[in-house]
Amino acid sequence: MWLYYVRRYKHVIWGVLLAIVLMLLVVIGVKTTSIKKAVINEDVYSGKAMGTAIKKTIYSEKKKERDAVNTAIDDCLRTLEKQISVRISDSEIAKCNRSYVKNGTYRLPENIVFYLQEEMKVAQETKGAFSPCVRPLSVLWGIEDGKNVVPDQQRIEEKVKYASYSKIAVSDDGIIFKLDNMAIDLGAAGKGIACDEVMKTIEESKVEGAVVSIGGSVAIFGSKGDGKPWHIGIRDPRGGEDDVMGVVDCADHTFVSTSGDYEKYFEENFKRYHHIFDPRTGYPVDNELMSVTIIGDNGFMSDVLSTTCFVLGLKSGMEYAQKKGVEGIFITKDKEVYITKGIKKEFRIKDNQYILAN
Ligand code: ADP
Ligand code: MG
């Protein structure tokens, strides 16, 4: 009997079954897209801090979480700047420069002592290419304050004496200056330190992924929910602020820092004078490089090493980066690009004015 009905209404039954399957597919589809969408909600926040442009791209399900971490990052940067900026008159660094007594120990907070000790290791290993007390040279040249004349040779030579790392010593309690008129700053590391602090702030939040850039230093956290690596653009050293010459794929908890001759500079007689100095000559670095990008698992060290490798030049800089266990992208004035072995698969050129040379 029921077979009779099945046969008779075969078409109707098939129709109903098909409709049910279609409805199920639609429901599942809607559900998966809404899950995907929830994970990849994104906001971009732009602003200024630590004397530079800040961009935060934050991924999480809820807007409230994204806004909260944005505010927390701003607070964290403000607190850090008050402590380490040489330009803020009651920062630890500014107070130290103003009030140290020659050959005595000037006590500094533990975190600053740590940064200075690490910087001193780099200074020693590079025989002074890096120097925590390069500041008298930066002040003399005044490039970051918009001065655009080459100082007298005699005055440069005088400041070179103060700019050598051999004229300071860092103990567990603080710093000893061996001459008067010296000064330290954390200029070559500050944005990287800020990236480390930002990373801690993000870790404490509920967001799934974030990319925060502070000037030329970038902190990369988590994922954007699609299981793919982050694509970080490498600035074209002869292009505008948003021009990218290549892209490097980065994983969670990576830090990318770039130092170049384009950030702050002036030109005289077709020669470029910029804000990264060779402390041994007293002049802005003048080698084959336009920029160095360092990729590592620590913001502070990536920033220190991008400045250091820029001063060292292509060959020594590549060797030193490898010795320190970080990856590097070195761009020469001839627009040749040299990269360390560990990022051969991760790095791609996007602008064909540039060529991969190794
Ligand atoms: P930016 O601050 O533009 O991102 P860097 O990280 O390369 O670039 O740091 C440049 C700053 O580091 C300069 O403004 C100066 O304060 C400081 N500096 C310049 N030359 C040296 C050097 N040889 N060693 C240590 N610090 C340096
Ligand atoms: Mg640096």
Q: What is the pLDDT of residue 7?
A: 72
Give yes or no for residue 15 having a pLDDT over 90. Answer: no
**Any ligand 1 atom below 6 A from CB of 138:** yes
Report how far residue 16's alpha carbon sits from residue 3's, in angstroms, rounded to the nearest whole number. 17
Pocket perturbation via mutation, ligand 1, pick of 125, 307, 308, 330 by most ligand atoms within 8 A of CB: 307
Pocket perturbation via mutation, ligand 1, pick of 93, 134, 303 by most ligand atoms within 8 A of CB: 134
Distance of CA 299 to the CA centre of its chain: 6
98-131, pLDDT tens digit by residue?
A: 999 999 999 999 999 999 999 999 999 999 999 9
Residue that the structure tokens 């060292």 belong to: 312
77-99, pLDDT tens digit by residue?
A: 999 999 999 999 999 999 999 99
Nearest to 72 by CA among 52, 58, 83: 58
Report how far residue 265's alpha carbon sits from residue 267's, in angstroms, rounded to the nearest whole number. 7
33-49, pLDDT tens digit by residue?
A: 444 444 479 999 999 99
Report how far residue 285's alpha carbon sits from residue 279's, in angstroms, rounded to the nearest whole number. 9
Ligand 1 atom closest to the Cα of residue 260 is 7
Q: What is the pLDDT of residue 37?
A: 47
Ligand 1 atom closest to the Cα of residue 304 is 6
Which ligand minimizes its atom distance to the CA of 119?
Answer: 1
Which ligand minimizes its atom distance to the CA of 305?
Answer: 2
Mean pLDDT of 12-28: 70
240-252, pLDDT tens digit by residue?
A: 999 999 999 999 9
Report how far residue 194's alpha carbon sits from residue 212's, in angstroms, rounded to the nearest whole number. 10
The CA-CA-CA angle for residues 337, 339, 342, to 5°, reads 160
Q: What is the pLDDT of residue 34?
A: 46
Polymer length in residues for the chain: 358
Q: What is the pLDDT of residue 36?
A: 47
Give yes or no for residue 178 having a pLDDT over 70. Answer: yes
Report how far residue 84's alpha carbon sits from residue 86's, in angstroms, rounded to the nearest whole number. 6
Q: What is the pLDDT of residue 266?
A: 96
- Are the C-beta atoms of 156 and 87 separated by less than 8 Å? no
Residue that the structure tokens 């030049």 belong to: 313
Q: Whose CA is nearest to atom 15 of ligand 1?
A: 187
Cβ neighbors of 77 (< 8 A, separation 6 or more) are 49, 50, 54, 194, 197, 198, 214
Burial class for 11, CB neighbours closer than 10 Å (0-12, 13-18, 19+): exposed
Give yes or no for residue 189 having a pLDDT over 90. Answer: yes
**What torsion, rounded to 10 degrees, do the Cα atoms 253, 193, 112, 146 define?**
170
282-327, pLDDT tens digit by residue?
A: 999 999 999 999 999 999 999 999 999 999 999 999 999 999 999 9
Give yes or no for residue 6 having a pLDDT over 80. Answer: no
Q: How many CB atoms lie within 10 A of CB 299?
A: 26
Report how far residue 344's alpha carbon sits from residue 198's, in angstroms, rounded to the nearest whole number. 28
Nearest to 50 by CA among 71, 72, 74: 74
- Are the C-beta atoms of 49 and 190 separated by less than 8 Å? no
Give yes or no for residue 9 having a pLDDT over 90. Answer: no
The CA-CA-CA angle for residues 307, 219, 331, to 5°, reads 40
Mean pLDDT of 260-281: 96
- Are the C-beta atoms of 51 and 264 separated by less than 8 Å? no
Enclosing H/E stretch for 332 = strand 327-332
Q: What is the pTM of this model?
A: 0.89
Q: What is the pLDDT of residue 28?
A: 62
Mean pLDDT of 4-20: 73
Position 26 confidence tier, pLDDT thresholds 50, 70, 90: low
**Any ligand 1 atom below 6 A from CB of 185:** yes
Average pLDDT over the chain, rounded to whole?
93
- Token readout for 196 is 């480390």
